[in-house]
Amino acid sequence: MEHILNYLRTHRRQHLAQLFELTRFPSVSTAAEHVEDVARCARFLADHLQSLGLTRVEVMPTPGHPIVYAEWLEASNAPTILIYGHYDVQPPEPLELWNSPPFEPQIREGEIYARGIADDKGQFFAYVKAMEAYFTEKGALPINVKLLIEGEEEIGSENLHAFVQEHRALLNADAILLSDTSMFAPGLPTICYGTRGLVHCQIDLETAATDLHSGAFGGFAPNPIHILAEMIAALKDKDGRITIPDFYEDVAELTPKEQAQFAALPYDEEALKREIGMEEFIGETGFSTLEKRWARPALDVNGILGGFTGTGTKTVIPAKAMAKFTIRLVPYQDPEKVFNAAKAYLEQLAPAAAKVSVTGGVGGSAYLTPLEHPILPLIAKALQQAYHQEPVFTRTGGTIGVLSTFSEALHLPIIMVGMAQPNDNAHAPNEHLTEELFYQGAEAAAYLLHELKTWKPA
């Protein structure tokens, strides 16, 4: 490792300059006017990977933006790791809120400011630099590597699912490493091993063919807003539990070890409340906030529509009402099953006075790499050496679509290693990455390649 670390430390300026070059491409995947920039960024990346010694480097077309693929498979008796990243970025607007131009990277007080620097260019590029160190110093990598850098993550990875299904053999590996998340606290190495899933629903109620006069019909005409409010209220009980029948049947309960790990995290609940201007947190009785955020399901109404909401008054009994809600799922809930159960339950809750329609569907499955998976201690050991700190294990409350794509098609353990600091303004103006974290990220990637050599996948 000494040669590798030495190489990385003596080449920091070159690596930073290359990262700057990569972030100068305005690879905004959502903007039609940037299609060429996205393609040029993919080409630049592929040429760079080719020059380092990776084999089978390809810019692979999709119906949208291309995927950059590269591999090196010459380590016999060593595992194969698929490394995922994305070279596309969020739009930089509103431009007037940036203190320096988003595609002209600049360092101020140890922070590199540029669109995409944290999400995700500065993270996946750390692996690229670690590989460069091995190729230069040893002429080989310690393990087999497949790199998949997509160009559509910021627009929902529209074509990734079909691509992964179609290239299952090409992408087959023993595990997936993904660095597109943040550390739990600044400088704190963080292994994220689980996500929540998502189901979305819309309820439409209709009680009459037309809106009615509340004087002529008030007192005996059913009101769809009242009915909708009662139905929504019935979705949770007073302990904050979701009342859809059998809803908790497949929920993976937290193990005592996980509970202890969550409780030991440097988390300041009062600071969070102040930050978002909230008096009190609510939710399912018997669980801590982090448990509720990461490992318990949640149901939230996102919007409600009905009746008269203009200024003044209108004596109306509306004919229709509508609400949208989402359910966050945890391992091992099946989104399809949950949606069907929610739909059946709402249809049953609706009184005969209302015509009800429940539409919606699956937004993604939850994902979990069990904590006892043998790859995790190796990853922890690698991060410990790179950051000189014991890493923490976290989950995320969000839904990461690419995870379900990978886990459904490839059935591999997926581990997320956050190399960016929290509050990096990803998706917002003045996105930044601590310069030091980029160098540490490259060293962490080097340690990961090194440690995973000893892994013997079952």
Alpha carbons 152 and 139: distance in angstroms, whole number? 33
**Bridging pattern class, strands 197-206 and 355-364:** antiparallel
Give, as one character, the DSSP assignment of residue 118: I
Structure tokens at 63: 């119906």
When asked if residue 180 is in the footprint of Zn ion (CB under 5 A), the reply is yes
Which of these ranges, 16-24, 127-135, 175-183, 290-298, lies near Zn ion under the rule CB under 5 A? 175-183
Comparison of 29 and 369: residue with beta carbon closer to Zn ion: 29
Shortest gap between Cβ of 426 and Zn ion (angstroms)? 7
Torsion of CA 360, 234, 296, 262, to 10 degrees: 140
When asked if residue 120 is in the footprint of Zn ion (CB under 5 A), the reply is yes
Shortest gap between Cβ of 153 and Zn ion (angstroms)? 5
Is the bond leading into 120 cis (omega within 30 degrees of zero)? yes
CB 451 within 8 A of CB 135: no
Shortest gap between Cβ of 158 and Zn ion (angstroms)? 15
Give, as one character, the DSSP assignment of residue 309: -
**φ, ψ dihedrals at 277, nearest 5°:** 65, 45
Shortest gap between Cβ of 155 and Zn ion (angstroms)? 11
Range 70-99, binding Zn ion (CB under 5 A): none
Alpha carbons 15 and 8: distance in angstroms, whole number? 8
Comparison of 120 and 152: residue with beta carbon closer to Zn ion: 120
When asked if residue 152 is in the footprint of Zn ion (CB under 5 A), the reply is no
Other CB atoms within 10 A of residue 23 CB: 27
Range 198-257, binding Zn ion (CB under 5 A): none
Which of these ranges, 14-22, 177-185, 231-239, 430-438, lies near Zn ion under the rule CB under 5 A? 177-185
When asked if residue 431 is in the footprint of Zn ion (CB under 5 A), the reply is no
CB 410 within 8 A of CB 171: yes
Q: Is 175 helix (H, G, I), strand (E, B) or coil?
A: strand
Structure tokens at 343: 């739909």
Shortest gap between Cβ of 178 and Zn ion (angstroms)? 9
Which of these ranges, 112-120, 200-208, 227-235, 342-350, lies near Zn ion under the rule CB under 5 A? 112-120
Comparison of 180 and 431: residue with beta carbon closer to Zn ion: 180
Residues facing 55 on adjacent strands: 71
Which of these ranges, 117-125, 249-257, 380-388, 414-422, lies near Zn ion under the rule CB under 5 A? 117-125
Per DSSP, helices labelled H in 143-297 are 160-166, 168-171, 214-217, 224-233, 256-263, 269-276, 289-295
Range 271-310, binding Zn ion (CB under 5 A): none
When asked if residue 119 is in the footprint of Zn ion (CB under 5 A), the reply is yes
How big is the site for Zn ion, counted in residues (CB under 5 A)? 3
Comparison of 130 and 400: residue with beta carbon closer to Zn ion: 400
Torsion of CA 401, 406, 408, 412, to 10 degrees: -130
When asked if residue 150 is in the footprint of Zn ion (CB under 5 A), the reply is no
Comparison of 86 and 292: residue with beta carbon closer to Zn ion: 86
Q: Residues interacting with Zn ion, by CB under 5 A? A: 119-120, 180
